[in-house]
Structure 1
Amino acid sequence: MHSILSAIDKLNAAVTVLVGLLLMVVTVAVFGQVTVRFVLTAGGINISAPWTEELARYALIWMVFLGAGVGVRHAQMIALEFGVRRLPARIGIPVRYLSIVLCVAFFALMVWVGISFVDLGRSETSPVLGITKDYVYWAMPVGAGLMILNALALVLDIGLSGRDIRFAADDAPEI
């Protein structure tokens, strides 16, 4: 079981690097857009770079879904944990596991709906980059699948270590 967790953590490390690269793409594209739109225009040079807006948007979509998938591994998604943490362990722990089960069900729904979007995206083309939108829409089922994998890894890790699941976010490694 530890080798499975290790493999998932290696996958998450690679995804984290990819998310960082996507952040770089978003930053460069937005900086380029601002430069073209405001700086060059102020200097009397009227050109446009509409591809930067689409590129930044699509990279941001992938970045969010992949980053969320990694965040699930260490219970770092936005949650109202203060209530569960204050409950007695005999109530708080089952509530936390129930919330994970509900999240996994929602993530599975996201995979299913995401596949429908991918099918739809095969017939749509982005206006500026000219790519089919299925490349963009794949972010949802891929990210949701990663969320399911990492939710199960979180439960397995907590089960093997015997820690209290209510405080799993406190044990998250620094990135």
Structure 2
Amino acid sequence: MQIVDRLTRVIVWLCRIGAGLAFALLMAAVLIQVVGRTAGSSPVWTEELTRFALLYLVAFGAGLSFRSGDMVNVDVISETLPGNLPWALRLVSAIATVGLCIYLLSSGWKFMTIGKMQTSPALGLPMNFAHFIVWLMLALLALFAGLRILGMLTRTEDGLPTKAEEL
């Protein structure tokens, strides 16, 4: 299981770097917008860049929030159930998450390929750069849910959210 733990740490690290870079880009674009507006007019491309950066921030953060428990979760009832029922419900939830994400991956890929025919109006980027975000978020969410399932079935974790310091 050391390989899985090491792989998980690398994936978490890469997602944190991706989220951090997206957030830094978002802050820079907004700063340019604010400074530009006070100086008279802001560059048009900053609006588009802000949207793209925000979407990438969400894509990288979705799996991390699933792992840490920061994603919306209704566990008021499930965690009060007796015995192994909470564990089983967490497992079923992770399996459903993986299943849904894997099912949607092919549609996300089709959505991304449509973007090859379009460019963003202000930045001139191919829109498959923006549409890739949907596929990336689904893939990362499926990966983190799959890692939770693996950990639960090998009894190296109980499926409860991981504390931030353990990420």
Superposition TM-score, scaled by structure 1 size: 0.85
Q: Give deviations 1:66-94, integer Å, cap 9, x for gaps.
A: 11022233444211112111111332222
2:62 is aligned to 68
1:18 is aligned to 18
- 1:76 and 1:154 map into 2 onto residues whose CA distance is 15
Give, as a single letter, the amino acid of the residue that structure 2 aligns with 1:40. Answer: A
Unaligned residue ranges in structure 1 (runs of 5+) = 42-46
- 1:93 and 1:2 map into 2 onto residues whose CA distance is 23
- 1:148 and 1:132 map into 2 onto residues whose CA distance is 26
Moved segments of 4+, more than 4 Å: none
2:130 is aligned to 136
Work out whether 1:115 is the aligned partner of 2:109.
Answer: yes
Out of 83, 89, 93, which is 1:99 matched to?
Answer: 93
Change (3 A) 1:74 1:159: farther
1:58 is aligned to 52
Give, as a single letter, the amino acid of the residue that structure 1 aligns with 2:128. Answer: D
Give, as a single letter, the amino acid of the residue that structure 2 aligns with 1:116. Answer: K
- 1:12 and 1:85 map into 2 onto residues whose CA distance is 26
Change (3 A) 1:161 1:93: closer
Alpha-carbon RMSD: 1.9
- 1:7 and 1:90 map into 2 onto residues whose CA distance is 28
2:164 is aligned to 173
Q: Give deviations 1:115-154, integer Å, cap 9, x for gaps.
A: 1111111111100000110011111112211111111111
- 1:15 and 1:59 map into 2 onto residues whose CA distance is 14
Name the stretch that deviates more: 71-80 or 149-158.
71-80
- 1:105 and 1:11 map into 2 onto residues whose CA distance is 20
1:155 is aligned to 149
Is the CA contact (8 Å cut-off) linking 1:26 and 1:56 kept in structure 2? Answer: yes
Is the CA contact (8 Å cut-off) linking 1:74 and 1:154 kept in structure 2? Answer: no
Identity of aligned residues (%): 25
1:40 is aligned to 39
Aligned length: 166
Unaligned residue ranges in structure 2 (runs of 5+) = none
